[in-house]
Structure 1
Amino acid sequence: MDNTPAPPEPAPPEPAQLPERKRGSGVKMVYDLLRDDILDLVLPPGSPIDEVQLAERFAISRTPIREALARLAIEGLIDTLPNRSSMVAQIDFVNLHTFFDAITLMYRVTTRLAAQNWRAGDLEVIRAHQADYVVAFAAHDALAMIRTNRDFHAAIAEAGRNPYYLSLFLRLLDEGRRILRLYYQSFDDRPPASVIAEHEAMIDAIAARDVARADVLAKAHADQIVGQIRQLMTRDQRQDIAL
């Protein structure tokens, strides 16, 4: 009979531990999801923001919730009220004409300067953002179109080499994201393919250093968007029924 002792059984594996959440990741998660909800108008302008409900939804403390709300407030998407509560910022339709004036000017100025001042590597960055926009366009992904459209025009502004214009243009692009969401909604998230063609024509004009044509194309691009939004704002949806 073999009296050799049996080898000890292997110890049971220790329970897997969840990876620790990186510092600040909770803030980013809340910020990203709330921003998407606001931009996609899931949270309409004027909607109250309940920190307790958000903490329960995301299973985190209220501190990262408040930090995320503070970031959204800086971007003009959240308003903090005197009683320290928060709400989704209203869209200032009364003064929308001033926004249209400013952003049209920035489209023109930044595109002109890009045609004049671009350097090696700038066109590759602009074209990469345009490629991302085309992918979002094909998927009818409005939020991705808004994001990649911003990055496309921001890259053009960066190629213009004027940090003051860049700063103002980024502010306008960010503040106008919900307005651009309305633009895409007016097309049922299927805008005309001419938008892509307009982008491509602007790239060609910039690459050719054709400042005058870049200006004309940028203005036409802005006019198309502004015209569609104005038409959306003024459309008559009254029902003609007998009473």
Structure 2
Amino acid sequence: MAGRPRTVMERAYSEIKKKVMTLQLAPGSVIDDLGLSEMLGISRTPAREALFRLVSEGLVVSDPDRRGFFVKPLDIQDLSSLFEAHMVSARAIGRLVAVRCNAAGIVKLRKAESKVIRAIEHARPEEVASSNAELHRLEASLAGNGYLANLACSIHDHGQRLGYLAFGGATAWDTLEQHFIEVQKDHSELIDAYENHDPDAAEGIAGRHVLLFRNRIFNFLTDDTAGSINLGGDILPSMQLSRSNLE
């Protein structure tokens, strides 16, 4: 019985995080922890513990004055800092993986790559975003540097929210064909560079891949589907996000 509370908290954490990542809990929205606990069929305590864990990961913000929680919004400065950190970490990880990755690691990367390909083929935005993030978290773990891996996991958590939105969650799928061709090309060539133990090539491709993702996000923010975004303030909360216009 001693392990049960932790199991309940972990389930609550996974469920709430999924809602954040797929924008069922929209950026900037208030989180009703009591309502969440009732929906999940658990007590309020593990729900709050899960929310505090998400606070520590930067996906949820705690408001001590009102003793409440809300989903962290994204603004221009957040995006700029996110991509700056993403570029630095991706290039460093690329070099380290090329030097340190063994044959078993390459097999794992190819398997993770195939999950991204299947998600793209099936046109499933949530799976595209999650499998892409999973591939890059694996990549970070294979670099053999725990500090970089922790940084990369945080970056890909925040990037996964953006990825869901820009990889079809609120975008016509048929407009993404060329983007996904380039995504798959980058993934394949990056893993080839790892297999060939070529750190210069790996660093270059990793940087190119970050730019591809960054450009997709900014293209999304300036196209017609995001025309109501107020770029002078919060980006995502100013969009009238709902399940109806994400499906």
Q: TM-score, normalised by structure 2?
A: 0.80
Listed one character per residue, the Cα deviations across residues 10-34 of structure 1 (whole Å, up to 9, x for unaligned) are: xxxxxxxxxxx94433323322222
Listed one character per residue, the Cα deviations across residues 54-107 of structure 1 (whole Å, up to 9, x for unaligned) are: 232122211111111112212212111022111111113333212111101212
Q: TM-score, normalised by structure 1?
A: 0.81
Q: Which amino acid aligns with 2:11?
A: M
- Residues of 1 paired with 2:173 and 2:93: CA distance? 27
- Residues of 2 paired with 1:59 and 1:152: CA distance? 32
Question: Is the contact between residue 103 and residue 195 of structure 2 (CA under 8 Å) also seen in structure 1?
Answer: no
- Residues of 1 paired with 2:15 and 2:172: CA distance? 22
Q: Which amino acid aligns with 1:137?
A: I
The structure with the larger Rg is 1
Query: Over aligned residues, Cα RMSD in angstroms?
Result: 2.2
- Residues of 1 paired with 2:141 and 2:50: CA distance? 27
Given the alignment, which residue of 141, 148, 153 partners 2:131?
A: 148
- Residues of 1 paired with 2:71 and 2:207: CA distance? 31
Percent identity, aligned pairs only? 28
Q: Residue 187 of structure 1: CA displacement?
A: 4.5
Q: Is 1:178 aligned to 2:166, yes or no? A: no
Residue of structure 2 in register with 1:226 after alignment: 214
Listed one character per residue, the Cα deviations across residues 152-211 of structure 1 (whole Å, up to 9, x for unaligned) are: 112222222222222222221122221222321364456423312210111111101122
Q: Is 1:214 aligned to 2:197, yes or no? A: no
The alignment partner of 1:79 has SS state of strand
Given the alignment, which residue of 46, 58, 83 partners 1:100?
A: 83
- Residues of 1 paired with 2:46 and 2:149: CA distance? 30
Residue of structure 2 in register with 1:36 after alignment: 18
- Residues of 1 paired with 2:37 and 2:105: CA distance? 42
Q: Residue 48 of structure 1: CA displacement?
A: 1.1
Residue of structure 1 in register with 2:56 after alignment: 74
Q: Residue 47 of structure 1: CA displacement?
A: 1.1
The alignment partner of 2:19 has SS state of helix
Q: Which structure features the higher share of helix residues?
A: 2
Unaligned runs of 5+ in 2: 229-247
Given the alignment, which residue of 187, 200, 203 partners 1:199?
A: 187
Question: Is the contact between residue 31 and residue 70 of structure 2 (CA under 8 Å) also seen in structure 1?
Answer: yes
Listed one character per residue, the Cα deviations across residues 85-134 of structure 1 (whole Å, up to 9, x for unaligned) are: 11111113333212111101212111121112212411111112112222
Unaligned runs of 5+ in 1: 1-20, 239-243
Question: Is the contact between residue 79 and residue 89 of structure 1 (CA under 8 Å) also seen in structure 2?
Answer: yes
Larger RCO (CA under 8 A, 6+ residues apart) = 2
- Residues of 1 paired with 2:139 and 2:40: CA distance? 37
Q: Is 1:169 aligned to 2:157, yes or no? A: no
Given the alignment, which residue of 135, 138, 145 partners 2:118?
A: 135
- Residues of 2 paired with 1:187 and 1:108: CA distance? 29
Question: Is the contact between residue 114 and residue 206 of structure 1 (CA under 8 Å) also seen in structure 2?
Answer: yes
